[in-house]
Structure 1
Amino acid sequence: MTTEAPPRSTLTTEETPMATLNRRPVSTRRELAEASGLSITTLERLYRERDENGHPEPAGTIDRELVWYSADWRKWYAGHTDVEKLESRDQLAERTGLGRSTLELLWRQKDENGHIEPKKVVSGVMYWGSKEWDTWYAGYKANQEWRTEIDYSGNADDEITLSQAARVLNMEPTSITKYPVRPPRHWPDPVREETTDKGRSKRWYRRGDIWKYGELRERGGGRPAGSTAATGRRYPYDGDPRLDQARAAIKASPEATNADLAGQLAREHDGSAGTWSHIVASARQNPED
């Protein structure tokens, strides 16, 4: 979707308002609307949001109408609509290759991921500084290295078992067997539950709810909700189930090189050998959990 450029002020030095205050030309809101092409409603909103956008205060009133120094307002509006060095969400998507839906999700989750605030909001469109956004996103990605890739195939309303949910999350089934009784934050309730002939509980989950958990999950995976245990990463891939897989591979083949183990683990558990090489290196440096 192409975002239209915000309207620019069309006031010129030749368009001198009739009224003056302190010997300086002033304009009413109606006159500003006519000169800039903005609606009265938009101008009222910009004025209400002056604490955020720096809109100038009125110079005073004429016949009970608020007026602004024309030159001051024109200078402010030119700066307010100048987004040449900023990027909208559409521009970020085009430059980074991230989908718009992903960028929208990152913004909705700003309370959890620390997404930076936009530099400007012009005509309802948010704009960020490229360097500031890239710095934030690099930190965000580094903090997400422990996450596994989510399998988004299938229908969101499908009912799936716990072991199938593990495959959706690209995790070992044994790593989430405790989730129903010791649920991590955001883990969904099952849509139905049955007792087998052997007296065991079998649960089915909505696939879309598992997707949502995968997007919202926090470090620690199976830590019970309300736990006060620290969630900070002690070392690379701390809390990632793949770290235990790497430790097991090292224990089974202590003489193997990191590259050999990374290739083996990539074949056995999917993922790239490059990522697995980092996981193996962390496992060697931190052999015990």
Structure 2
Amino acid sequence: MTTLDGRRVLTRKELAGTYGLSISHLEKLYREREDNGHPEAAGMINRALVWYAADWHQWYERHTDVAALESRSDIQDRTGLGLSTLERLWAGRKSNGHPEPEKTIGNTMYWNPTTWDTWYEGYKANQQWRTNVDLSGNAEDLISLSEAARVLGMDPTSITKYPVRPPKHWPAPAEETTTDKGFVKRKYRRGDIWTYAERRERGGGRPAGTTKTDRRYPYDGDPRLDQARTAIKENPGTTTAQLAGQLARQHGGTAGTWSHIVRSARQHPEDY
């Protein structure tokens, strides 16, 4: 047993053997010590850095304590959502407000399940406003136009003109072939249809079952307008950008869209 100042110490190689970690991972943990709290080396023995065994063990237990957190795999098992869907939600975090992980160990991220569930409920509510979007399946799947309509929760006949008169944000087909009779068959990437579903409120694609009405002003009749009015009332003096970010986190959607809604609420403050 090697000691320093009367206390047991371990080299990086000994830490790797004791805790079943790779040398490269241990080096990474030490490089990131300003962020993760990794203890400083106690000194050097035979030109190798050493750490007090008790201090390092205490830190490592705290660092790896994820009993109350959930990895992506845990969330998948609990919610039944597909792995590709969870990965897509994380990839779109800048626009959809997906929470950052509470802890990252190696390449595995961990989230507070309460925080994640609160965000996801808001995200789903925002999706339902647009139509009930089917988020199952693999983002890389190629699907027909009629299947795209089903994913969007829309009547297939309502989007038959999209390929020739595309609404704003409608994706280009990933595959296009012409039959012997001259009919064009188009296939769309499922992930591109999901992206359109998230962005279409700013362009085309009215939700199924709705009709065009004469709006008195932007977002007239949209339930989010009342949410913005309430936020303005409860947060006097808060800037539009700050309110937009707050509402996006609370209710889902993008801060950019909420900025438009907040501006409309300020210009038409009735009912609050």
Q: 1:164 to 1:127 in 2, by over 3 A?
A: closer
Q: C-alpha distance in 2, partners of 1:202/1:136?
A: 44
Given that residues 27 and 70 in structure 1 are in contact (C-alpha distance below 8 angstroms), is that contact kept between their aligned partners in structure 2? Answer: yes
Residue equivalent to 1:269: none
Q: Tell me by how many angstroms 1:190 deviates.
A: 6.5
Matched, 1:220 2:200: yes
Given that residues 87 and 130 in structure 1 are in contact (C-alpha distance below 8 angstroms), is that contact kept between their aligned partners in structure 2? Answer: yes
Matched, 1:141 2:107: no
Deviations 1:139-173 (A, max 9, x none): 211221113434979x9556x4x567435533243
Q: Tell me by how many angstroms 1:186 deviates.
A: 5.6
Residue equivalent to 2:4: 20
Matched, 1:187 2:171: yes
Matched, 1:42 2:25: yes
The correspondence for 2:109, drawn from 101, 126, 130, is: 126
The correspondence for 2:208, drawn from 242, 246, 251, is: 242
Code of the aligned partner of 2:168: P
Q: 1:174 to 1:216 in 2, by over 3 A?
A: same
Moved over 6 A (4+): none
Given that residues 131 and 154 in structure 2 are in contact (C-alpha distance below 8 angstroms), is that contact kept between their aligned partners in structure 1? Answer: no
Q: C-alpha distance in 2, partners of 1:99/1:60?
A: 48
Code of the aligned partner of 1:110: R
Code of the aligned partner of 2:208: R
Q: Tell me by how many angstroms 1:61 deviates.
A: 2.6
Deviations 1:71-119 (A, max 9, x none): 2211110111211111122222232232333323322332332221222
Residue equivalent to 2:12: 29
When Rg is computed on C-alpha atoms for both structures, the one with the higher figure is 1
Residue equivalent to 2:45: 62
Q: C-alpha distance in 1, partners of 2:4/2:174?
A: 70
Segments of structure 1 that go 5 or more residues without pairing to the other structure are: 1-16, 195-200, 225-238, 248-289
Q: C-alpha distance in 2, partners of 1:54/1:124?
A: 18
Residue equivalent to 1:90: 73
Q: 1:96 to 1:69 in 2, by over 3 A?
A: same
Q: Tell me by how many angstroms 1:183 deviates.
A: 4.5
Q: C-alpha distance in 1, partners of 2:208/2:201?
A: 12
Code of the aligned partner of 2:39: P
Given that residues 156 and 206 in structure 1 are in contact (C-alpha distance below 8 angstroms), is that contact kept between their aligned partners in structure 2? Answer: no
Q: SS state of the match for residue 30, structure 1? A: helix
Q: C-alpha distance in 2, partners of 1:157/1:139?
A: 28
Q: C-alpha distance in 1, partners of 2:7/2:109?
A: 34
- Kindly indicate whether structure 1 or structure 2 has the higher relative contact order, using CA contacts under 8 Å at least 6 residues apart: 2
Q: C-alpha distance in 2, partners of 1:88/1:30?
A: 28
Q: 1:222 to 1:130 in 2, by over 3 A?
A: closer
Q: SS state of the match for residue 138, structure 1? A: helix
Q: How many residues align?
A: 206
TM-score (normalizing by structure 2): 0.61
Given that residues 176 and 187 in structure 2 are in contact (C-alpha distance below 8 angstroms), is that contact kept between their aligned partners in structure 1? Answer: no
Q: Which has the larger share of helix?
A: 2
Question: Superposition RMSD on alpha carbons, in Å?
Answer: 3.6
Q: 1:180 to 1:52 in 2, by over 3 A?
A: farther
Deviations 1:113-135 (A, max 9, x none): 22212222234332211111112
